[in-house]
Amino acid sequence: MSNVLQTEMDFTLVKQYILLPILLDVLERDINAINVAPLKMTIVYIKMLQQAQEHVHDDLVRVRKQMRSHGLKVYEENKTKLSVDAQYTCRGYHHSFSMLWSLVKSELETLLSGYLGVDLDA
């Protein structure tokens, strides 16, 4: 669990690599839930979330490319009841990443609000 040769950018890329697929799953679940909900404007909500999905997917592709160019590779990922954990290498050095689900939820809300242009503080 060394920080040798790891930059803030490296850590941010790993964090995004872990969070973005979770956000895609959340969006898919929400789209499915909205699809069966008795709402008047279902198509509008679904289209909005699908657009967010496309942006998240594009960002995930970008993050994966950047990880390769930075010498980052996640080789193990585990989801427990308490947290999301990952093991990864950064230019040959091994590192760990862990985030409690409460923090994951908070991070995902912030990410999604950015994709949707929603101010959570308003």
| Global pTM value | 0.90
Return the domain boundaries, the chain: 8-114
The pairing of beta strand 93-100 with beta strand 83-90: antiparallel
Instruction: Determine the pLDDT at residue 4.
Output: 57
Instruction: Determine the pLDDT at residue 121.
Output: 87
Over the stretch 24-60, which tens digit does the pLDDT of each residue have?
Answer: 999 999 999 999 999 899 999 999 999 999 999 999 9
Instruction: Determine the pLDDT at residue 86.
Output: 96
| Token duo for residue 21 | 């697929």
